[in-house]
Amino acid sequence: MVDQEQRNSPEEKNRLCELVNKALEEIDKVFGYGFQLWDYPCKPEGIKDFVPAHEPLYDKRLLYVEDTLNVLEILVSRLIVVTGGNASFILQCEESLPELVEKILANDPDVLLLDYNLEGFTAKDVITELWKRNFKGKIIGTSGDAGNLENFRDMGIPAVDKDVVEAEKMLSGIAQHIIANRRYLLGQMSDEELAAHEVTFMNDAAYEEYELVEQQLIEEYLDGALSDQEKLLFEQNYLHDSPERLEKVAIMKAVNQTIREKGDKKNS
């Protein structure tokens, strides 16, 4: 859990403000237009307080690829704040597809937020090349066009509406996608979300992520690290009427017990 008091401290807001201004300066150099934003340069009092709904974004290394200057400039501040200063940006305008793919791979983000319509190609081209290169980060698409959002989903990529007017809603959507596998396993999705999420399993990277989250969730359950509500959801939704999942938990419990016993013998 993020320390809310520390996150909202004057010192932290000063630090984040410096990162926002540095990012905006770098983005502006690409076009050299000069800033049109009324709130530039950023001031510490302009840094919004921590919002619990955005917690899944905190400490994530997020890379946002966008080809529209004004959109990127507006979202820079919020993305830097909600990630605790771990967001970076590519304003794509002249990069070829291979050049952009190399930049993304060099950045190696936990989360790639990707606009659909880029200069000279689309997100589908980028994603196809990233998958060829065994990219393991979580890809989340974004667009203001409903058809493009559907294009992402057809590829098994979760997507959020790009809405700079309601940026908080957009950020909450990104946060929910980051913890989507956990919500799926705990039975916290609507039927519509459930169907959309299961489509993402058609690509190998997404399914590997699912398996990792499943393993982490089982370990938290065995270690007693789940909250009372999460433990109840885990037992009611994950374990209920599933011999295969019960077996997974039993095997992991036995493995953990064996590891502990070997450790005890080694230390005795």
Q: Is residue 157 part of a domain?
A: yes
Q: What is the DSSP letter of 32?
A: -
Residues 37 and 108 in one domain: yes
Distance of CA 60 to CAs 136, 138, 143, 181, Å? Answer: 14, 11, 21, 16
Reduced to 3 states, what is the DSSP secondary structure of residue 189?
Answer: coil
Are 215 and 209 in contact by the 8 Å Cβ rule? The answer is: no
Q: Is residue 84 part of a domain?
A: yes
Contacts of 122 (CB under 8 A, 6+ apart): 116, 151
Total tally of structural domains belonging to the chain: 2
Higher local confidence (pLDDT), 237 or 256: 237
CA nearest to 87, candidates 22, 144, 33: 22
Q: Is residue 194 in some structural domain?
A: no
**pLDDT beyond 60 at 34:** no
- Strand, helix or coil for residue 60: coil
What are the structure tokens assigned to 18, written together? 């410096």
- What is the tens place of the pLDDT at every residue in 41-92? 778 777 888 788 889 999 999 999 999 888 888 899 899 999 999 999 999 9
- Look at 120 and 2; give whichever has higher pLDDT: 120
Residue partners of 209: CB distance under 8 A and separation at least 6: 136, 138, 181
Residue 36 pLDDT greater than 60, yes or no: no
Report whether pLDDT(93) > 60: yes
Say yes or no: 216 and 172 in one domain: no
Q: How confident is the model at residue 1 (pLDDT cuts 50, 70, 90)?
A: very low
Amino acid 141: pLDDT:
96
For 118-151, b/e burial (b = at least 16 CB within 10 A) is beeebbbebbebbeeeebebbbbbbbeeeebbeb
* pLDDT given for residue 163 in this prediction: 86
Compute the average pLDDT of residues 167-175: 92
Cα 59 → chain centroid: 10
Tell me the β-bridge partners of 140. Answer: 113
Q: Taking 70 as the threshold, does the pLDDT of residue 38 lie above it?
A: no
Which amino acid appears at position 263 of this protein?
G
Q: Taking residues 155-184, report their average pLDDT.
A: 92
Q: Is 98 contained in some domain?
A: yes
Range of the domain at 251: 204-267
Instruction: State percent of the chain over pLDDT 90.
Output: 60
Starting at the edge strand that comes first in sequence, how are the strands of the sheet with 62-66 ordered?
87-91, 62-66, 111-115, 138-143, 159-161
Tens-digit pLDDT profile for residues 112-161: 999 999 999 999 999 999 999 999 899 999 999 999 999 998 888 999 99
Q: Which two tokens stand for residue 209?
A: 């992520």
pLDDT(268) > 70? no
pLDDT value at 257 more than 90: no
Q: What is the pLDDT of residue 107?
A: 96
Residues 37 and 140 in one domain: yes
Longest dimension (CA), the chain: 68
* Secondary structure class of 160 (helix, strand, coil): strand
For residue 131, the Cα-to-chain-centroid distance in whole angstroms is: 17
Q: Does residue 59 lie within any of the structural domains? A: yes
CATH code for the domain in which residue 20 is found: 3.40.50.2300
Task: Of 217, 179, 188, give the one whose Cα is nearest residue 58.
Answer: 179
Question: Whole-prediction pTM value?
Answer: 0.85
Q: Tokens 């039927």 map to which residue?
A: 191
Assess if residue 263 is contained within a domain. Answer: yes
DSSP element (H, E) containing 142: strand 138-143
- Greater model confidence, 44 or 4: 44
Let me know if residue 190 belongs to a domain. no
What is residue 207's predicted lDDT score, i.e. its pLDDT? 87
Predicted local distance difference test score (pLDDT) of residue 152 = 94
Asked if 170 and 51 sit in the same domain, the reply is yes
**145 lies in some domain:** yes
Of the candidate ranges 13-22, 29-38, 102-111, 120-129, the one whose mean pLDDT is the lowest: 29-38
* pLDDT confidence of residue 2: 52
Structure tokens at 31: 């076009």
